[in-house]
């Protein structure tokens, strides 16, 4: 079992839920990336998803698009993010997951990218525009290394496809809670709970829900039907406004409420 899954499983066996914040690398400058990782780790998050800015972020809503534009404007690239992660202090031990679109990975070269991920201790990858049918090209390079390829399952995935996706999943399954793009939302589809419960039954690895989760109430609601949650836009926005108290409050409320 890869480290990412082990860490989440140990959270579950302690009667807790996983909490994974997303941040955009290079938003606010790459020089703040490592201090943000340490800040989040000290709040007690389970893992951290690090977004690589990209010029055509098709799955992203306005908050993350703008964060990506700011990061690109100050010269952030996949290579520079990996170099920055290589420089982090030994204190940062929380598992790191890189979220990137496929293009930067192909431009980098799959083999070299995987080697760098292993070298800097990245434990997972989320690549939203990598379809299951094409995932072998990366999956093969990850077989013998401690980096998990995390698949996304959408609300509209048919059951046989879900079964196939989860059977190949590593680390965790990312259950996308809405039909659409990232960003804060006030409500979810009526069928979401049943979908999440079904997914949990089918999946041999933990199931974490993400997209549209921004308040501790939503964290508790969705945490009840999954093994944990991912919060992106709300965290990205708070870092941008330098509202660290809000992040601390959100993480603390979330982690204290989601103990079973």
On the 0-12 / 13-18 / 19+ scale of CB atoms within 10 A, 12 is: middle
Structure tokens at 80: 């520079």
Sheet architecture: strand order including 228-231? 148-149, 122-126, 96-99, 48-51, 18-24, 228-231, 207-210, 173-176, 152-153
| Residue 216 touching ligand IGP (CB under 6 A) | no
Stretch that binds ligand IGP, among 70-78, 193-201, 229-237, 248-256 (CB under 6 A): 229-237
Site for ligand IGP in 39-78 (CB under 6 A): 49, 51, 59-60, 64
* Distance in Å, CB of 211 to ligand IGP, minimum: 4
Of 11 and 67, which CB lies nearer to ligand IGP in the complex structure?
Answer: 67
* Distance in Å, CB of 144 to ligand IGP, minimum: 26
User: Which residues lie closer than 8 Å to 155 by C-beta, 6 or more apart?
Assistant: 176, 177, 178, 179, 189, 191, 192, 195
| Residue 151 touching ligand IGP (CB under 6 A) | no
Of 26 and 128, which CB lies nearer to ligand IGP in the complex structure?
Answer: 128
Separation of alpha carbons 38 and 4, rounded Å: 18
Say if CB 123 and CB 97 are below 8 A apart: yes
Of 68 and 143, which CB lies nearer to ligand IGP in the complex structure?
Answer: 68
| Residue 153 touching ligand IGP (CB under 6 A) | no
Stretch that binds ligand IGP, among 40-48, 111-119, 158-166, 210-218 (CB under 6 A): 210-218
The residues assigned a catalytic role are: 49, 60
| Residue 7 touching ligand IGP (CB under 6 A) | no
Straight-line distance from the first to the last Cα atom of the chain, in angstroms, rounded to the nearest whole number: 24
* Distance in Å, CB of 77 to ligand IGP, minimum: 17
Q: Which residue has the tokens 């990366």?
A: 138
Instruction: Return the residue of 26, 124, 206, 232 that touches ligand IGP, per CB under 6 A.
Output: 232
Say if CB 20 and CB 69 are below 8 A apart: no
Residues lying near ligand IGP in the complex (CB under 6 A) are found at: 22, 49, 51, 59-60, 64, 99, 126, 128, 182-183, 210-213, 230-233
């Amino acid at each position: 079992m890869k480290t990412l899954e082990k860490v989440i499983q140990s959270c579950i066996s302690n009667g807790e839920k996983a909490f994974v914040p997303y941040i955009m690398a290079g938003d606010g400058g790459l020089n703040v990336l490592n201090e943000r990782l340490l800040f989040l780790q000290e709040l007690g998050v389970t893992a951290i998803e690090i977004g690589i800015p990209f010029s055509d972020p098709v799955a992203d809503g306005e908050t993350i698009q703008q964060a990506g534009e700011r990061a690109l404007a100050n010269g952030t690239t996949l290579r520079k993010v990996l170099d920055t992660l290589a420089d982090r202090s030994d204190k940062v031990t929380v598992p790191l997951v890189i979220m990137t679109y496929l293009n930067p990975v192909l431009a980098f070269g799959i083999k070299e990218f995987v080697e760098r991920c292993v070298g800097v201790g990245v434990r997972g990858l989320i690549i939203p525009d990598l379809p299951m049918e094409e995932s072998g090209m990366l999956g093969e390079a990850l077989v013998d290394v401690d980096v998990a390829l995390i698949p996304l399952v959408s609300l509209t995935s048919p059951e046989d496809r879900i079964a196939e996706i989860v059977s190949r999943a590593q680390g965790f399954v990312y259950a996308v809670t809405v039909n659409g793009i990232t960003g804060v939302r006030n409500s979810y589809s009526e069928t979401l709970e049943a979908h999440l419960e079904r997914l949990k039954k089918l999946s041999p690895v933990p199931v974490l829900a993400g997209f549209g989760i921004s308040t501790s109430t939503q964290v508790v609601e969705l945490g009840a039907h999954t093994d944990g949650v991912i919060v992106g836009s709300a965290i990205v926005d708070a870092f941008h406004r330098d509202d660290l108290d809000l992040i601390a409050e959100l993480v603390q409320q979330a982690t204290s409420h989601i103990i079973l």
